[in-house]
Amino acid sequence: FHKVGGTTACKKAFDKFDVDTAMNIIRRCIPLSDNHPILHHVIRHAPDLEDDIGQYYPDAVFLRDTNGHTLSQVKFYMNLRRGKKTFKKDCSFFISATDNQVNTMHPGTGLYPFMLAAVGNKSDLAAVYYLLSRNPKLVGHGENKDSDGAGSSRKRQREDID
């Protein structure tokens, strides 16, 4: 799903041939029996092709990626990272999020969903607040770790500045 000139090779194949012909070729390379999470890759790199590719790999919906995430988790994370969802315009996106989606850290960034929504003002404050209110215990989760990861962190002594 590497893009050249803003278009993936898959999309170019769909345009040059037709979806059926291109997908028959792709299915020879990536057979259904491979248990390859192809739809996870589609969501990350070419979400506009989800319907075209999904109809040929319907069982890929049930697979988990190398991080153990379901397709719905990947979709949720990618929508937050792209920053196209606001609570005001897309409240159903946030309200319908499962506890698993809201409480699971994004593997690539190490951020929880409320943090992804807040980073770079990608979402509105209402969305960040809603996601955080679903599990307030996530605030400060993983902080106060020493360099050895033991978690017995102490405050540093204040240094005098001359």
- Residues 77-130: pLDDT tens digits? 888 888 878 999 999 999 999 999 999 888 788 889 999 888 877 788 999 999
Binned at pLDDT 50, 70 and 90, residue 146 comes out as very low
Binned at pLDDT 50, 70 and 90, residue 142 comes out as low
- Distance (Å, whole) CA 85 – CA 113: 12
| Domain spans of the chain, in order of start | 3-62, 71-138
Burial status of residue 143 (CB atoms within 10 A of its CB: 0-12, 13-18, 19 or more): exposed
pTM, full prediction? 0.72
